[in-house]
Amino acid sequence: MAASERLARLRSAVVGGDDEPGLSLAVLAGAVAAFVSLPLVALLVRASNYGFGHLAGLLSETGSLDVLLNSLSLVVLVTLGCVLVGVPLAVLTVQTDLPGRRVWTVVAALPLVVPSYIGAFTFVSAFGPRGDLADALAVVGIERIPTIYGLQGTALVLVLFTYPYVFLTTRAALLSFDGTLVEAARTLNHSRWAAFKRVTVPQILPGVAAGGLLAALYALSDFGTPSIMRYEVFTQQIYVAQRSLGVPEGYPALLSMQLLVVVTVVLALESRIGAGDTSYVSRGSRQPGRIELGVWKWPALAFCGGVAVLSLGVPLGVLAWWFQRAGSAVFEFDPTVAWNSLKVSVAAAGAATVLALPVAGYAARSSSRFSEVTDRLTYVGYAVPGVVIALALLYLSTEFAQSLYKTVPLLVFAYVVRFLPQAVGSVRSSVLQVDPKLTEAARTLGRSSTGAFREVTLPLIAPGVAAGAALVFLTTMKELPATLMLSPLGFETLVSYIWLVRGAGSYGAAAVPALVLVGVSALSMVVILAQERYNG
């Protein structure tokens, strides 16, 4: 075919059909996607520099297979645990006559508010070998309690603070579940329980899987909890290996590659389970009748209460205890630390929002392949753990951009890579809600396309954009591994401060910053919920 035809084809493959947004938007979106993929590319290049043969050799030489096993055990245990806790809680609060359902619903979702490393902290303080429980039991004469450290403790803490993901997605699936199906099953000789097993469960499986995915990814990428609980998994080992003597060349890179492989496997698994057909034939709105618990009410309440005590009572109680015990010393807290946290979080939120606009705008308005690709690429940060991004950026800066090494801009870049997906998602759904006819109308009334964007689209998507920015701000405030690895010398944030004092064991000083972080986290939940309502 003629060259011009080829060009035209290429152009439409890139830019889409005639009613597609302009080329400049596509270019911008592509640039952003390339920009945030840099760390991953850098890591791959670095790994290949070592030679994959060398890396394979390291596999057997070092304990990296043990680390792999540890990480896998953790992920499996945590996902299972979250399902075992989250699904019953969802069923209890949606479909039964459990007393105080509304309250339990809120309480069950609240643990998301506690950053997991703070949860880990408080758990070690309460249940560790020299913790409060041990002291209390020592009085009674029990000398040794099962250790909180290791796999059991790490899994427990992670389950307690990530089960809400499964709880919330299962709950959503149950709420949108067509109750008529259960009634149909009942008229076909199935008891309520049999109907639940054969009809409800297969229908809500995709929802459960989605929540399980979030929990699994979280378990894989969490750094703080395994470090505090002394369980050697990828994240913690990458961090330690990156800065220890006696570590063979390329070991951190190897661990990172392994971790990324596991993440990919998890993502692939979920897309298979979760690909359940969501285009249900029946779309009734009737809720199935309430399951009556009868005498089972008491065990159910005990279960809900127990989970709440462990996931909310312990951390908040311990923090309050530290706060109270530290007395006036608590306020000797240096405000520069909080100020630093604020500065980087605002910078990250601003940068992420600005970068999200072209990507999300393009993805929302275009159906071309290219727009799909750029959209997907920005989700790199969602799957790649913070510790790996930080490692990649350390490599990048030491090789190519020494002046950026351990500077605030680099740190902000790490945050942006990691949390851009939140901003993109938020902006995208806002743009989708704006009827393109509105911009067309503006243009027929004499506005240029930028003018139309500024005067019509922007005001309409402003709430969604703001929500995305708020989300990035709040998640950045509590981010741990990248902060530890990339902070410039002397640059202390709330998070690095907490990490520091926990190393010294003086927990009391951590009380105020920890409470601030919990408050920040709570705010982000409020933003998410408000945004859900806004999106309908």
Partner 1 sequence: MADQLQTTRRRTEPDDATTGGDVVLELNGVTKAYGAETAVTDLSLAVRDGELLTLLGPSGCGKTTTLRMLAGLERPTEGAIELAGDTVAGPETFVAAEDRGVGIVFQDFALFPHLSVRENVAFGLTDRDGDAATERVDEMLDLVDMPDMGDRAVDQLSGGQQQRVALARSLAPEPDILLLDEPFSNLDVRLRVEMREEVRRILKAAGVTAVSVTHDQEEALSISDRVAVLNDGRLEQVGDPEGVFEHPESRFVASFLGQAAFLSGMVNEATVDTAVGSYDRGLLKGLTDGYTGAMVDVLVRPDDLRAVPATGDTGNGTIVKRQYTGPSFIYHVELDNGDVVRCLHNHAEDMDVGEPVTVDLVSDHSLAWYPTE
Partner 2 sequence: MSERSGPSRRRFLAAAGAATTTGLAGCSGILGTGSESGGGTPGIGDFRGSGAIVEDRPAPGGTSIEDLPDLEGELAIYLGGGEGGRYTTLIDLLDRYYDGFEVSQQTQPSSQLANIIVDEYDSGTTQADLFWSVDAGSLAYVSDKGATVGLSSDATSMVADDRFATDQWVGVAGRSRAVPYNTNQFDASDIPTSIDALATRDRFQGSLGWAPTYGAFHGFVTAMRQLRGEDGTREWLNAMLDQNPARYDSEYATVKQGITNGEVGAGPTNHYYPMLVFAQRPDVPLDLAFTENDAGALVNTAGASVLDGASDPELADLFVRHLLSAEAQEFLATRGFAFPMIDGVEPVGPLPTIEELSPPDLDLQSLSDVQPTIELLKDVGILS
Q: Give the footprint of partner 2 on this chain (CB under 8 A).
A: 63, 66, 130, 232, 243-247, 397-399, 402, 405-406, 487-490, 500, 503-504, 506
Classify 465 as helix, strand or coil.
helix
The partner in contact with residue 106, picked from partner 1, partner 2, none with C-beta cut-offs of 5 to 8 angstroms by kind, is: none
- 269-273 long-range Cβ contacts below 8 angstroms, 24+ apart: 270/209, 270/210, 270/212, 270/213, 270/216, 273/205, 273/206, 273/209
What stretches of 243-334 show up as alpha helix (H) in DSSP? 251-273, 297-308, 314-326
Q: Does residue 186 belong to the site contacting partner 1 (CB under 8 A)?
A: yes
d(CA 322, CA 283): 52
Taking the complex as a whole, how short is the minimal distance between the CB of residue 192 and partner 1, in angstroms? 8
Taking the complex as a whole, how short is the minimal distance between the CB of residue 220 and partner 2, in angstroms? 21
Q: DSSP E strands: which ranges in 423-527? A: none
Classify 49 as helix, strand or coil.
helix
Strand pairing partners for 96?
A: 291
Tally Cβ neighbours within 10 Å of residue 410: 21
Q: Does residue 281 belong to the site contacting partner 1 (CB under 8 A)?
A: yes
Q: Does residue 289 belong to the site contacting partner 1 (CB under 8 A)?
A: yes
Q: Does residue 282 belong to the site contacting partner 1 (CB under 8 A)?
A: yes
Closest to partner 2 by CB, 240 or 466: 240
Taking the complex as a whole, how short is the minimal distance between the CB of residue 188 and partner 1, in angstroms? 3
Buried b (16+ CB within 10 A) or exposed e, 440-472: eebeeeebeeeebbeebbeebbeebbbbbbbbb
Q: Does residue 202 belong to the site contacting partner 1 (CB under 8 A)?
A: yes
The partner in contact with residue 399, picked from partner 1, partner 2, none with C-beta cut-offs of 5 to 8 angstroms by kind, is: partner 2
Q: In whole angstroms, how far apart are CA 390 and each of 13, 367, 386, 441, 483?
A: 35, 33, 6, 46, 8
Q: Does residue 294 belong to the site contacting partner 1 (CB under 8 A)?
A: no
The amino acid at residue 247 is V
- Mask for 357-396, x = binds partner 1 (CB under 8 A): ----------------------------------------
Taking the complex as a whole, how short is the minimal distance between the CB of residue 229 and partner 2, in angstroms? 13
Size of the site for partner 1 (CB under 8 A): 28
d(CA 498, CA 496): 5
Stretch of residues binding partner 1 (CB under 8 A), selected from 63-71, 75-83, 271-279, 402-410: 271-279
Q: Does residue 99 belong to the site contacting partner 1 (CB under 8 A)?
A: no
The partner in contact with residue 245, picked from partner 1, partner 2, none with C-beta cut-offs of 5 to 8 angstroms by kind, is: partner 2
**For binding to partner 1 (CB under 8 A), which residues are involved?**
178, 180-181, 183-192, 194-195, 198-199, 202-203, 276-277, 279-284, 289
